[in-house]
Structure 1
Amino acid sequence: MNTSTMKALCVTRRFDAHAERVFDAWLDPTMAGRWLFSAPGGEMAKVDMDARVGGRFIFVDRRDGDDVEHVGEYLEIDRPRRLVFTFAVPKYSSVYTQVTIELERDGDGCLLTLTHEGVLPDWSERTKEGWAMILNHLADTL
């Protein structure tokens, strides 16, 4: 695996919902369990969130009987504008990356910009596609 140059990637999506509603969907365990970190054909087996700065989260997505953990720690929570957390999928890499969610009002909805820093080059395209899929799931859930 190429670990020489970490990458930052960015995904932007408009939502037909107010920023507060979109922001809250990231931190509400019941809501987040419906859309966050779930792969196609997977089921969310565990959602544990301590939604405060310094709090941690763990999502376990069961894929074909195999559990995949998604873990991290909340670094910044500025409702409804900005959410920053560390992120790792230990099954695939021990590297912790950083994800920043920024929301801004856009007419009767909002614009979300997700920046994922520290992505391993071999995973960058797949990671960007994954975030786009996850944001589509969020839009469907809202």
Structure 2
Amino acid sequence: MENLSTTTLKMKREFGVAPERVFDAWLNPDMMRKWLFTLEGTNKLTQNDPQEGGTWEVIDHRDGVDYRAIGKYLEVDPPKKLVFTFKMPQFSELEDIITVELKEIQQGCDMTFTQLIHVAHEDDWTKTDVEKALGEYHDGTEHGWNLMFMGLKELVETGKISYKG
């Protein structure tokens, strides 16, 4: 596809728990439905087959609308690395690639999160239009993950999330 650009979002977080606990939060449907693209109070569906080639799906219901996030696992190496595709079909058929790497440290674990974001653009876009769109997608995606990672941290460190949405 010619009308496609990419940008990379990289984020780091530290958790006061073992890498296994954070890895589990990415794969266990009971934990996923509390923070990953959804909240417990708005989650309509969470399905997961956490193996290479397996798929995952989360449906969040807000303001009368279902928001569906889906993907396929490309690499599952517990508790160190997880690579999967991500797309929201109601917005775009483009798939992003997400990599989650966990490393044990003395106080718990470090998580390095990387998302390769694909952005479709119009034929008549200038280089400036493309750069603006890439910046907006990057910043918007980073904002969303910041909110989710606050929930993830609270969930793995305390067992629950106080924010209900």
TM-score, scaled relative to structure 2 = 0.79
SS in 2 for 1:134: helix
The one-letter code of the counterpart of 1:7 is T
Paired residues of 1:42 and 1:63 also in contact (CA < 8 A): no
Structure 2 counterpart SS, 1:139: helix
SS of residue matched to 2:137 = helix
Secondary structure at 2:89 match in 1: coil
For the residue of structure 1 that corresponds to 2:34, the secondary structure is helix
Q: Which runs of 5+ in 2 are unaligned?
A: 120-133, 157-165
Cross-structure match for 1:16:
16
Q: How does 1:29-44 map to 2 (within 5 A)?
A: 29-38=29-38, 43-44=42-43
Q: What is the CA–CA distance in structure 1 between the aligned matches of 2:43 and 2:137, rounded to whole Å?
A: 22
| Correspondent of 1:134 among 148, 152, 160 | 148
Q: Report the equivalent of 2:96.
A: 97
Q: Distance in 1 between matches of 2:141 and 2:37?
A: 11
Report how many aligned residue pairs link the two structures: 139
Q: Which structure is larger by alpha-carbon Rg, 1 or 2?
A: 2
Are the counterparts in 1 of residues 98 and 114 from structure 2 also a CA contact under 8 Å?
Answer: yes
Q: What 5-or-longer segments of structure 1 have no aligned partner?
A: none
Distance 2:4 2:91 in 1: 17
**How much identity, in percent, do the aligned residues show?**
35
> Which residue number in structure 1 is paired with residue 122 of structure 2?
none
Is 1:77 the counterpart of 2:76? The answer is yes
